[in-house]
Amino acid sequence: MPNTMTIDDIWKLFQETNRMFQESKREWEQSKQKSEREWERSKQEWDRRFQESKEKSDRELEETWRVVKDVSRQIGQLGSRWGEFVEEMVAPACETLFLDRGIPVHRVHQRVKAKYPGNRHMEIDLLVVNTDVVVLVEVRSELWVGDVREHLNRLAEFKGFFPEYADRRVMGAVAGMVVEEHVEGYAMNEGLFVIVQSGDAVKLANDKEFNPKTW
């Protein structure tokens, strides 16, 4: 004969089921709270590491920019000193170099400047002068085609900036410690003297038959 469940049995079963449900709910909530705490700790740890990494990167970037600026400043100073050094080598040699080409040298002026209203200005590295001829010398540590073109423009405008030399024949020269062959050829084809390094001194790269252009 089958067992018959009483109301009391059903109530006990309900209570047990409810107990198991509450236990499962409590375990789930504890697990959820634990997961949330772990996630929060993980998030905080990630935030901390991210902030430390960002601060380190910012410091390294700041240091990198400082080094770049310092190196750029040193390079600029070195370039300026190098240009001055080249001028100091070229300037004393001009008298002999141009005299050998039939151009007596009375004076050599360094860094000659002229400035007029409207932001019109001109600067000449070396100005070689006698009573008949003026030679404008552009000096570069490394000479490029662009430097030659700029100097040609300077020669064309020279008498407008320096009218006191209006009665002189104007010639041009470019000088460089490093001068590529194609740059040298371009300058010569445009009628310029080319002064290049030769051991511890400088020399004219133009041959004896070279005929300079006059402006």
CB atoms within 10 A of CB 117: 5
Is 124 a member of any domain? yes
Q: Which residues of the chain have pLDDT under 70?
A: 1-5, 9-11, 14, 65, 68-87
Is 165 a member of any domain? yes
| Residues 125, 189, 152: CA angle, nearest 5 degrees | 35
Is 31 a member of any domain? no
Is 30 a member of any domain? no
User: What's residue 212's pLDDT?
Assistant: 97
Is 27 a member of any domain? no
How far are the Cα atoms of 70, 136, 153, 187 from residue 193, in angstroms, in the given order? Answer: 37, 10, 15, 7
CATH number, domain of 185, equals 3.40.1350.10
Is 192 a member of any domain? yes
Is 136 a member of any domain? yes
Dihedral of CA 99/102/105/108: which sign?
A: negative
Q: Supply the range of the domain harboring residue 115.
A: 86-204
Is 157 a member of any domain? yes
User: What's residue 213's pLDDT?
Assistant: 97
Instruction: Decide the pairing of beta strands 193-198 and 201-204.
Output: antiparallel
Number of domains into which the chain is organized: 1
**Each residue of 117-149: pLDDT tens digit?**
989 999 999 999 999 999 999 999 889 999 999
What would the two tokens of residue 171 be?
């010639």
For the chain, the distance separating the N- and C-terminal CA atoms, rounded to the nearest angstrom, is 135
Secondary structure class of 118 (helix, strand, coil): coil
Residue type, 104: P
Contact status, residue 139 vs residue 86, Cβ threshold 8 Å: yes
